[in-house]
Amino acid sequence: MSFPQPQHDHDRCITQALAAAEEECRRRGARLTDIRRRVLELVWRSHAPIGAYALLQALGKAAPPTVYRALDFLLAHGLIHRIEKLNAFVGCAHPGHDQAGQFLLCRQCGRAAELNDAGIEAAVRDAARRDGFEIATLTVEAEGLCPACRGESP
């Protein structure tokens, strides 16, 4: 998921993300229940990370444990990512592919873009290995300004 172009068809983006999630769940023998699907749809509603509290508000009468269980499911099945710095969630642009989380976070508009660069992961793992450190999970979060906030075309 890169930063969206000005002519970005976000409805199509959401539809494709939900279809990919359905396929990934089918492949894993998991079930994308109505609440899980709705939470995933809300996560994909914009390209900005969304927190659990905002999801609870958007869902209205859903109980907090229900939303947290849905988030846990979506994380476990690689359908969303958690942005640690923000304690918020974004949709996974490549469900079903093993990858380290690599994100560009715009500090002005709040949008996020997911990278999938094996070189970044390899560089961090190699540096850790040289120091005798074994990485269990790897997330890279870089803050800055997206092309739109800098007034440039991507």
Binding site residues for Zn(2+), as ranges?
Answer: 106, 109, 146, 149
Q: Are strands 101-106 and 88-91 parallel, antiparallel or unpaired?
A: unpaired
Comparing CA positions, the residue from 125, 123, 88 lying closest to residue 105 is: 88
Closest to 101 (Cα-Cα) out of 62, 141, 43, 41:
141
Q: Is 89 within 8 Å of 50 (Cβ atoms)?
A: yes
Phi first, then psi: give them for residue 113, nearest 5 degrees: -125, 140
Distance, in Å, from the CA atom of 14 to the CA atom of 40, rounded to the nearest integer, reads 9
Could you tell me the end-to-end alpha-carbon distance of the chain, in angstroms, rounded to an integer?
Answer: 13
Binding-site positions for Fe cation read 98, 121
Of 119, 115, 108, 116, nearest in space to 152 by CA: 108
